[in-house]
Amino acid sequence: MTSPEIAAAVAQDPVVILPLAAIEQHGPQLPLSTDLDIGLGLLNAAAAALGDDVAVWVLPPLAVGTSMEHDGFPGTLSLEPETALAVIGQYGAAVAGNGVRRLLLWNSHGGNSQVMDLAALRLRRDHGLLVVKCSYFRLGYPDGIGLPESELRHGWHGGAVETAMMQHLAPDSVRPEPDRDSGSLGEQLERQFELLGPEGTASFAWLARDLHGSGVVGDARTANAALGARLVAYYGDALARVIRETRAFPLGALRTPAT
């Protein structure tokens, strides 16, 4: 888009989306770009479900996120949280400065969650924006997905869900999966503790190596492209609903930030 086209687009009161992703290790079968590929693939699926009746624009993605839990694995790139917070803030400030009022942070990497929360709150306070935060992995799963409950609870890095979506979105980038199940420390703790776990009611700070030495948790042997297509369609539809609801949100319900 050109600068004049942007100015005209703002008059439509659009939803502007900032994709947040990561470039980090995903074990032996998935590329470093997995989170970015999935995030953009789900955006494309949402666009197909959305149609042309909602004004929505996508910013250049923040491809490198906060991935310090994966430090030490070859290829991982990571921003310090303070840097990521500042960069998201600069994106948001530029958007607000152009007159945009609705910003959707679309996240495909778990390590970005805390930074996203803080950045959204600052942008709300400092620029009066409506900032909606959405991570695809918080949107649940299709009914009858056919994966074990333990895999859905613990296999969230290089496991069946991510591998299946990559088999659908970028099949040439998926390497053969080693014949093993990278069971998570979380599964072991679940048998011992009621509340404490990596992402439990009471959680502890962890590095990827803490959960499994390979940096992967989950069993990708059950993944296939058909499952991936179903997941992509499900998340694309859910994201399209989030976009519609962001566009319909009554901005008058938000109070003017105190000065």
Q: What is the percent of the chain with per-residue pLDDT over 70, rounded to a whole number?
A: 97
pLDDT at 259 over 70: no
Q: Which of 69-78, 136-145, 179-188 has the lowest mean pLDDT?
A: 179-188
Note the pLDDT of residue 55: 94
Each residue's pLDDT tens digit, 150-184: 999 899 899 999 999 999 999 999 998 766 667 88
Nearest partner of 239 among 92, 82, 62, 41, judged by Cα = 41
Note the pLDDT of residue 176: 86
| Distance from C-alpha of 104 to C-alpha of 125, rounded to nearest angstrom | 16
Helices (H), the chain: 3-10, 34-50, 81-97, 113-127, 149-154, 160-169, 185-190, 208-211, 225-248
Q: Where does the pLDDT of residue 75 fall: very low under 50, low under 70, confident under 90, or very high at 90 and above?
A: very high
Q: Where does the pLDDT of residue 51 fall: very low under 50, low under 70, confident under 90, or very high at 90 and above?
A: confident
* Average pLDDT of the chain to the nearest whole number: 94
Note the pLDDT of residue 56: 96
Three-class secondary structure of residue 216 per DSSP: coil
Mean pLDDT of the 222-228 span: 95
Q: Which of 47-56, 68-77, 240-249 has the lowest mean pLDDT?
A: 47-56
pLDDT at 114 over 80: yes
pLDDT at 80 over 90: yes
Note the pLDDT of residue 89: 98
Note the pLDDT of residue 130: 98
Cα 130 to chain centroid, rounded? 19
**Domain architecture of the chain: domains with CATH:** 11-252 (3.40.50.10310)
DSSP label of 192: T
Cα 10 to chain centroid, rounded? 25
Note the pLDDT of residue 239: 98
Note the pLDDT of residue 199: 86
pLDDT at 188 over 90: no
Q: Where does the pLDDT of residue 116 fall: very low under 50, low under 70, confident under 90, or very high at 90 and above?
A: very high
pTM here is 0.94
Mean pLDDT of the 200-211 span: 91
Note the pLDDT of residue 187: 85
Which residue did the predictor score with more confidence, 220 or 178? 220
Note the pLDDT of residue 178: 67
